[in-house]
Amino acid sequence: MEDIDLSGQADTIIRITVKRGTSNLTFPVKRTEFSLNSVTGKLIPSSTIGYISIASFSEDADEEFAKVLSTLKGQGMKSMVLDLRDNLGGYVESAQNIASQFMKSGTLMYTADKSGKLEKVSITDGKDIGMPVIVLTNEWTASASEILTGALHDNGIAKVIGAQTYGKARIQNVFQLSNGGYLKMTIERYLTPNKVDFNHIGLKPDIEITGSPVAQLIAGLHKAGLKHVDLSGSAYSLKVNGVELNGYIDTVQNGSKVYAPARVLAALIQGSTTWNKAAQKLVITDQSGKKTGFTLASKSIKMIDDESYVELHDFAQKFPNLKWSYGQGIIHLSY
């Protein structure tokens, strides 16, 4: 198929021809301008917990963040989950301005040029956020996202939950060459306020949860103070306490048996999972330290692409506070 450029001046018409069977159908389409917000936020229903996602540090991300923050505060937000997962970075100035919404004064980071001398980059004339903050990270949290994560963590403002970050702690400039080409050169390295150089290493979270974005989200909401979690989702959607968020929940049905991801179920009960290879057993440890096992031999679990899924009838028998239903590809989980 040939690539077609559909871009053009706003309010002009482009005609698209679609071949359907032996017929050619032509549709007029009016071009219009559109933009995607870098920052979105929602208040979790029946709580005072705000969820804010920063997809990238665009040129306007700091202004967008300030508006979302003001809106959620006006709705009664008392704690925040800040989602920086899959955020590959962007403008450092935007990250710095957003950091100033969390602290009156403090250290954003340290930079060092080829001389090796550390220079402090400070936050001044900022604002105290005045509430608990949880930052969600994963392996694609990079660059400016890591700057903000490190600043909030090392200044004692936020706890970090998720996977270890990407590990890009270098600043590059692009220089135009006389032959028309460009040279991208590393000019500085940067360190967290605690002077950690995490390049090619990443930032380690306070609570490490890998392999399940939904489990990371649930753990973050619990840590922010959410007492009751009601999930519904499919392979294409996710709702938490009735509000739609980015994510999905895979389920597997085998006759009357329904299997859900073990990490998601463990996060619901604020527990953790371990795999006993010798016994072919999944062990879930709850908040009190009690361990509960599910085995392959009993068909209480399934392994799919190295991820474990627990049969929901069996799980609910051992954790009776779990309520669940499944139909038409949609799973409902409440704990």
Active site residues: 143, 154, 168
Partners of residue 79 on adjacent β-strands: 49
Distances (CA, A) of 66 to 8, 123, 164: 32, 16, 27
CA dihedral 178, 182, 185, 190 (to 10 degrees): 130
- Per-residue pLDDT in tens (0 to 9) along the chain, 335 residues: 455 667 778 878 888 888 888 888 888 887 776 667 899 999 999 999 999 999 999 999 999 999 999 999 999 999 999 999 999 999 999 999 999 999 999 999 999 988 889 999 999 999 999 999 999 999 999 999 999 999 999 999 999 999 999 999 998 888 999 998 999 888 889 999 999 999 999 999 999 999 899 999 999 999 999 999 999 999 999 999 999 999 999 999 999 999 999 999 999 999 999 999 999 999 999 999 999 999 999 999 999 998 999 999 999 999 999 999 999 999 999 99
Structural domains in the chain, sorted by start: 39-213 (3.90.226.10), 228-334 (no CATH)
Q: Is 11 left (phi over 0), alpha (psi -120 to 50) or beta?
A: left
CA 213 centroid distance within chain = 7
Strand duo 291-295 + 301-304: pairing: unpaired
CB 233 within 8 A of CB 248: yes
CB 248 within 8 A of CB 238: yes
